[in-house]
Amino acid sequence: MKKLLYRIGKTIFICLLLGEITITPFNSLSFSSVKATDVKVETINEKTMLSDGQFVYGPNVNDFDLYKYLKEKAPHLLPYYNNLYYYSLSPSINPRVILTLLELRNSIISSTTDIEERLKDPLRIDNSGFEKELDLVTTKLNGFFYYILNKYYKTSLEKREDLKLNLNDGNTILLSKNINAGTYALLATFSDLMGKEELEIFNSNLDNKSFYNTYISLFPESDPFSQQNMLDTVTPPSADLLQFPYPIGESWYYNGVHSYSIGGSDRSSIDFSTSSTFPSWGTSTSNSWAVAAFPGTITKHTNEQGVSCGATIDYGDGWQVYYYHLQNIQDYTNNKIKRNEKVGNLADSEAKATCLGGAASGEHVHFSLKKNGALYDVDGSNLSLWTVHSGVNSYETDCTLMYLHRTLRGEEEKKCPIGGTSPNSVNNDGPFGGDNPNTNGTVFWGDNVKDRVGLAEVKNTITIEDTTVDNSKSFIINGNVNKKNELTLKAGSTIYLKNGFKAEEGSKFNASIDVTLNP
């Protein structure tokens, strides 16, 4: 039941959010345009409050240590570290932004008086407590940010709808159509709690009570206007970058595309489990491993008690994958993890699965894609050469709308998500669509992952027949040069031809070939 309500909440929020936008009372979480023609609409001389690249939790955060900052500047917030970390990390919002809002709204960072009362209503919303108000605010920030980033920006300027804010003093404010997503998210989230004068102060770069001045007073080392972290929501990951986040050779079920949390609008995440219904808590998960979708640097996400239930892998060119609801997260030398290596087991209890926060109703891995810190819409992206089709709503169950699809060796396949009439497990063939690389010596020939022109089976040795081969030609295996015309592979290895060289089984080559072992 919890899972069903969770899905319904997400679906309703996104359906409402993707329509025209106007802010209604904060606790209603509804979104629709101002239609009344007799409402007087005013404008404000809006200013950029925050660049889009500084809004997200990405390279812009650098080595900011949230725990260390709280310990030094606001030790009274250390009991709330888990909440602050989770509601920064999962919706991918710069923790400096959240701390700035807490200070601006209720002097939560600097105040040493009446702190218990302040913490009951930290953002001056509805006295619902620290975690609930953080959840509410970050959900709205996320929704408004990705509405602009993923929908509004992708509409030509002349066709963009008006962006109107209803304020609590009865004023309606019209914003410019080229407003940046970070600024819009801040204004739209808090507009119904402010009158026109207060909103103008909030948006000012001069007033001491503005967002900008509060931000730089707390974080003088950080520039909220920095453009160094540029966001790219258009360029997809390469077709062979990502594999499924479970071991090659295993078949798991996917639970559909969804947003980071209830009410999100980013469509960045997919849940995967080992059965067509999430196993009940307490089932042994010692053999249920989430694995690295690509090689990179792994960072554990650990709560105040030293327990880790999430991790992020950074590929190194802006792409990141985020895992949550895990336990027994592994350590690696210099934090370097290879593709298909173990990240952690599926958590076997809700307490372990949500060690930082959030909710989970059964054993599964939550898997999200990010680019430069921005949650990336996975629709159209590939996992182990399966193309993701996201449908209309989060956790869509209609397999004509939400499904996985691939064409491999001339055959089309389609898989349906959990919740539909025929959920299918999906075998992980790896990022190149190959057989299990742990079996003996399968070799795929071709110039790219979408154009396989032949298939050769070998055991331990492959001989390249080339009448022109001599010592001036090189065959490269994982960086090692072999100037012979025979390439010997270890048992169980898989090789892939690169460099745009098209080949069929038995072909003769008259050029050098780059051959790389499967990561």
Q: Where is the binding site, in residues?
A: 258, 271, 366
Give the residue numbers of the binding site for Zn(2+).
258, 271, 366
Non-local (6+) Cβ contacts of 30 within 8 A are: 16, 24
In angstroms, rounded to a whole number, what is the distance separating the alpha carbons of residues 260 and 293?
18
**Which tokens is 94 given?**
């710069």
Other C-beta atoms lying within 10 Å of the C-beta of residue 275: 16
The structure tokens listed for 331 are 């350590």
DSSP 277: S
Distance from C-alpha of 174 to C-alpha of 203, rounded to nearest angstrom: 14
Closest CA to 286 of 216, 365, 347, 339: 347
Active site residues: 325, 364
Angle between helices 181-190 and 196-203 (to 10 degrees): 150
Distance of CA 117 to the CA centre of its chain: 35
Q: Which residues contact 132 (CB under 8 A, 6 or more apart)?
A: none
Token pair of 28 as six digits = 């209603």
239 φψ region: left (φ > 0), alpha (ψ -120 to 50), beta (else): alpha
Give the three-class secondary structure for 65.
coil
Rg (CA), the chain: 25
Instruction: Output phi, psi for 333, to 5 deg.
Output: -60, 125
Neighbours of 457 (CB within 10 A): 10
Which residue in 204, 233, 237, 180 sits closest to 54, CA to CA? 180
Question: Which DSSP string do the residues of 355-368 spell out, in sequence order?
Answer: SSS---SSS-EEEE
Q: How far is CA 54 from CA 183, 362, 461, in A?
A: 11, 34, 52
Nearest to 320 by CA among 396, 247, 373, 378: 373
